[in-house]
Amino acid sequence: MTSSTNGEIERVFREEYGRLIASLVRRFGDIDIAEEAAGEALVAALEKWPESGVPPNPGGWLTTTAGNRAIDRLRREKLRDTKHRQAAEMYDDTPHESLGLFEDNEDDRLRLMFTCCHPALAPEARIALTLRLLGGLTVEEIAQAFLVPETTMGQRITRAKKKIAAAKIPYRVPEAEDLPARVATVLAVLFLVFNEGYLASGDGDPVRTDLTAEAIRLARILHGLMPDEPEVTGLLALLLLTEARREARVRGGELVRLDDQDRGGWDRSLIAEGHGLVRECLAINRPGRYQILAAINAVHTDAPTADATDWTQIAALYDQLVQVDPSPIVALNRAVAIAELDGPEVALAQVDKLAEAAPVLASYHAFHVTRADLLRRLGRSADAREAYDAALAVCDNTAERAYLTRRRDQLV
């Protein structure tokens, strides 16, 4: 088997993973059985596809193979009847009259997402489990997204799966009256899935379009289900406006900063759609985190050139966002806008103060990148080089590492 064939099979498997797991959970009512059967299907593909070729419908092949492996296991363990009863308890086929979109678009992945985001689970566990089961991320990748050790994340995911089984959490979309309370975590999951795809970790492609596309697809479904919920609209707008710049973000295997991107390569149809959604949010006038982030991106994508960016408006939006989400990452991004208005020295003082108040930023590569850029602008090359080195030590996106390495090496 060649490494290229092996890589192609693993790519197909990763793209199909969310669909495969969701289908198996619906059928067998057990997450562990679904994951094990999916793993066995991958092994079978690695054995057979190099000789026979990737089938025309690889997702169907994996689903059939995994289903057969799960049935074989249940028969061997003589648990088939028990597991089928459990599946019946978890899977609710009752039509939801108030969920019009879902009457015509049954979607296993969305059902599984709401199961993973059930209130009985801890918030961190909900997001982590959904990233694992629907996004197909590895435990290591999820740990990096949460800035926690891999062992901690593995234990968190294991506990969450056990909780779902023990509490018999149902596999279904909540009733309409329960959706608003449950949707916040789902939005957070979609945002993290998108971000992992947009700036992928690991040694593979710097952008994972399978994850960005999946996040947008599910965000569209949620928006169709809850068109009057402004944070759902805001998240969809944010994802579209960010995705619109994807083709211009990487050139020659290297990340391209927003200011240096070829704006002619931006997807104007996505920008127009995103701007329209932002206007919908403004009309509702119940601002939230995703709406404000979308508005910030609308300002960026509205500027014909980098020099024409309205930094005063962006800073005002970040001031508003700090009131909604007073996190150190939001404060860090606000400092970038302040640098454009009041200069890099003022911004650097704010960034360094943030580091004292939030030590977790030491493991956040964007913190070091921001410091490196500000120090560079101030002519402090030695300090900037140290900041670039610190960023490279905690960044594993291939395109961003190439960009940071070049910027560091250009310092005199």
pLDDT tens readout for residues 156-203: 999 999 999 888 888 877 877 777 778 888 898 899 889 888 887 766
Q: Among 32-36, 150-154, 180-184, 332-336, which is the least confidently predicted range? A: 180-184
Q: 113: helix, coil or strand?
A: helix
3-state class of 95 per DSSP? coil
Please state, as a whole number, how many other Cβ atoms lie within 10 Å of the Cβ of residue 59: 16
Q: What value does the mean pLDDT of the chain take? A: 86
Mean predicted confidence (pLDDT) in 214-218 = 87
- Give the residue ranges of DSSP H helices in 100-205: 100-104, 108-116, 123-133, 139-146, 150-167, 179-198
The predicted pLDDT at position 102 comes to: 34
Least confident of 109-113, 244-248, 304-308, 380-384: 109-113
Q: pLDDT exceeding 90 applies to what percent of the chain?
A: 47
Mean pLDDT, rounded, for 210-225: 86
Quick one: three-class SS letters along 16-28? Answer: HHHHHHHHHHHHH
What amino acid occupies position 250?
A: V
Q: Which residue has the higher pLDDT, 311 or 120?
A: 311
As given in the structure block, the two tokens for residue 370 are 């921001």
Per-residue confidence (pLDDT) for residue 95, from 0 to 100: 40
pLDDT at 94: 44
Contact 74, 32 (CB under 8 A): no
List CB contacts of 54: < 8 A, sequence separation 6 or more: 8, 9, 12
List pLDDT tens digits, range 57-113: 888 898 899 998 888 888 877 655 565 555 544 544 444 333 333 333 347 877 888
| pLDDT greater than 50 at residue 247 | yes
Phi, psi of 251 (to 5 degrees): -140, 125
Q: For residue 36, what are its two tokens?
A: 């094990």
Question: Averaging pLDDT over each range in 4-13, 20-29, 105-114, 315-324, which range is the top one?
Answer: 315-324
Q: Could you tell me the two tokens for 154?
A: 């593995």
| 142 vs 96: CA distance, rounded Å | 33
CA-to-CA distance for 248 and 226, rounded, in angstroms? Answer: 32
Q: In this predicted structure, what is the pLDDT of residue 397?
A: 87
Picking from 247, 249, 222, 217, the residue whose alpha carbon sits closest to that of residue 234 is 222
| Range list of H helices, 226-343 | 230-243, 246-249, 268-284, 289-302, 311-324, 328-342
Q: Identify the three-state secondary structure at position 154.
A: helix
Q: CA angle at residue 219 from 228 to 120, to 5 degrees? A: 90
Chain position carrying tokens 């916040």: 184
**Which pLDDT score, from 0 to 100, does residue 105 have?**
37
At residue 245, does pLDDT exceed 70? yes
Tens of pLDDT, residues 282-323: 999 999 999 999 999 999 999 999 999 999 999 999 999 999
How much helix, strand and coil, in percent to the nearest 5, is found in the chain?
A: 75, 0, 20
More confident residue, 194 or 8: 194
- Contact residues for 391 (Cβ-Cβ < 8 A; gap 6+): 365, 366, 368, 369, 372, 404
Determine which of 198-202, 206-210, 303-307, 348-352 has the lowest per-residue pLDDT on average. 198-202
Q: Which helix (H) or strand (E) holds 255?
A: strand 254-255
- Cα three-residue angle 149-151-155, rounded to 5 degrees: 120
Q: Looking at per-residue confidence, does 188 or 9 come out higher?
A: 188
Given pLDDT bands bounded at 50, 70 and 90, which one contains residue 4?
low
Residues in the chain: 412
The predicted structure's pLDDT at residue 110 = 78
Take residue 358 and report the two structure tokens written for it. 């939030």
Nearest to 206 by CA among 49, 31, 402, 383: 402
